[in-house]
Structure 1
């Protein structure tokens, strides 16, 4: 039996709208408080919780309303039965969408609040993630993307600052991947469990690499966790840009100072060169470590100094020993 049922005080606190809202913001931040409140379902989120979240500065974005419009409610079981029976080659999702547990009053409260905030620019039938994809040149190769992105920068700023666009959280590793009845892992968009798929999260990290000032815009609206959320993808992405998997014929391995400059630029705005980033980067470049390793590992040393993890020292010794033999 849970603690709240054993202790009346705990139970009373757990039912309090202010306590629930404060817990959501403390655990998930203002940017994702509403997402997780909705994910936790009708037994957790109430009209009062929505009101308190708004009063405490939780971000209510147009994108959230758009996703709710797409995924609110449950499937018709009879229709699912018929589709399963007569469409043998079609994967039929099982379960209900992430927002299906919302009560109608809560759904209407959220939609009304977004409508009041956005006024004539609500675009319920739009999709701000898709819009962000096009504005940030997601259809272009990364070398060709900056020109288009900076051309659209004013629209991107409007999307973030005025429409409060924040990507949904990406799927935690402990969460099971959604699988279709065929056994394949689903990357359908929008996802059943609400979390952003890898494709969408990679799109956001790529946009940050092209225009790091996007971090400032997100922090300005209260998305303070943007760097911690995107840290691994952005830092490793920066190294992939330095050491492309399929380098052109005229590619020259960058020196340590060049890599330091790239990483320090990201560190200054809140990203971190963590042990995990270092270890994953070494594994990622393992097949070319004899070519790129000296520059890469020297850069890590220059940034971290005495706090450089042991794996860097061991790899440097390995590279230098092999070059002498």
Structure 2
């Protein structure tokens, strides 16, 4: 993707003459509202010239990144974007430079001697073989670190500004104000001792911020989940190659703010308004972690309100953490929800929906159902909201994997995504024929058949790890429960049963679920079905569901079109034929068969 740094060579495209004749100040306003003006720069020579003016670049940087981070991003963009004129315009518009910035600039400026590094690597490898990943990491690190390709006149101009603003020749350019802040804010001490030490050093910390403009570098932009990184990235190297502040250094700032929230106001008086946005997630995520005692709900809410008063906002993840932490205080949870509503500025139902989605995050491994029940009883449309939350995490397993693979099925796809209590709760809460239960039985079915295939080709796998054996036992039980209860299974899963190597799974379909659906009488019960615990749950009032007639019709069509093939197991073929015979011998089949044909030809 092209960036603003590429404005030096532009291929112009036709532009509406009226836009080309806009007043310069209006053009600048338009540019300031764009995240990347490259397309506009290619429209005409007039726009290209306007965008490449040093004063326009500096205004765009400050508008987009703020006064504190504008200079950092100008250096990050490098040539041809940055030059002395751009730097002069930034300083003229009061863009900030900190002593910490000068110190980091000194660490990053200049080129490495690539030949010398190659010689060292070659020599070291003759003594001890170097890990290839480590070698690539070193080579990437020395390619183009932040500020390394800065023009010398720009580098010297920034150093001069630091020299003039701070202590002249006595400026500790080889120091590290981030490290100083770490020790002044009692970073090495435990929380109980750190509060006292930080307050003792409060005056010196304020001097570091007010006099020397200390502020962390901006956090690294979040990488989208769908982005695939082809090589391991080590962001713990200091200074980071890309210049952005590492999480480790950001945690130093977050910890200090949690101990002394008024520090935020000191930074804001310095016009570092982005401090809240830069570390909001870290601060919110650490409220519960940075305590050497179990905070009461009252303490937590007071702490949260204090942080909200200086601009911080609860994150989705933090709300989920807090709910689980205080789930034993259900009668007081409403106060916590109200605090979230105020902190996020959202309506109550939206907050409850966010909380539900966080509780249903498979990574949380929720062990209790009462908190789910409490949240669902207050949501406007609990069934639909739950269904959407489950789908947002892609709980359903990809069917193709189970069809195309045998013993190479990933272990994770043969285990339940949630603890058994969640599946049991959903069944009791929403009922057998709810979209929620139907969606979950799809995940349960695919995992159960995947487990059967994986076990066939890896018989020692379960016995090798106690957790795997326990997980598979939980899966077996939930599978049996859902089938015994008659949760509708979609006919599209029939091809999975064709190749399933476990007889009991096939019998659950043909001797338990389908006979119950067609009212033929259940003649089979799985050998191990743990009794479901009695859950104190307020059942959801059902809306209209699909009729059993519709489900029967779909299954008849699927069974009728299921022909013999080489992939079918002998057990499946035998059970399929026996079930067909049971249907044909049933008196109601004639009517159902006729209606099925009408349905298909209607």
Of 61, 84, 106, the match for 2:154: 106
Partner of 2:352: 310
Of 197, 201, 210, the match for 1:161: 210
The structure 1 segments of at least 4 consecutive aligned residues displaced by more than 6 Å after TM superposition are 320-323
* Gap change, CA 1:294 and 1:19, over 3 Å in 2: farther
d(CA) in 1 for partners of 2:113, 2:260: 44
1:219 aligns with 2:260: no
d(CA) in 2 for partners of 1:140, 1:162: 26
- Deviations along 1:28-52, one digit per CA (max 9) or x if unpaired, are 0001000000000021111111111
Partner of 2:247: 198
1:189 aligns with 2:235: no
The 3-state SS of whatever aligns with 1:22 is: helix
How many Å apart are 1:114 and its aligned residue? 0.4
How many Å apart are 1:258 and its aligned residue? 3.3
TM-score normalized by the length of structure 1: 0.85
1:77 aligns with 2:132: no
How many Å apart are 1:303 and its aligned residue? 4.7
Unaligned runs of 5+ in 2: 1-10, 12-37, 360-370, 378-424, 426-534, 538-602
Alignment of structure 1 residues 125-136 onto 2, 5 Å: 125-136=174-185
How many Å apart are 1:83 and its aligned residue? 2.4
1:20 aligns with 2:20: no
* Gap change, CA 1:175 and 1:68, over 3 Å in 2: farther
How many Å apart are 1:175 and its aligned residue? 8.6
* Gap change, CA 1:293 and 1:228, over 3 Å in 2: farther
- Deviations along 1:136-161, one digit per CA (max 9) or x if unpaired, are 11111222211111111111111100
How many Å apart are 1:286 and its aligned residue? 7.6
8 A contact 1:180–1:186 mirrored in 2? no
8 A contact 2:70–2:95 mirrored in 1? yes
d(CA) in 2 for partners of 1:105, 1:312: 51
Of 245, 254, 266, the match for 2:296: 254
d(CA) in 1 for partners of 2:333, 2:159: 49
Of 125, 130, 148, the match for 2:197: 148
8 A contact 1:231–1:271 mirrored in 2? yes
1:44 aligns with 2:81: yes
1:31 aligns with 2:31: no
Of 124, 148, 158, the match for 1:87: 124
TM-score normalized by the length of structure 2: 0.48
Structure with bigger gyration radius: 2
Higher RCO (CA-CA < 8 Å; seq separation 6+): 1
* Gap change, CA 1:240 and 1:203, over 3 Å in 2: same
* Gap change, CA 1:72 and 1:302, over 3 Å in 2: closer
How many Å apart are 1:22 and its aligned residue? 0.4
d(CA) in 1 for partners of 2:180, 2:154: 27
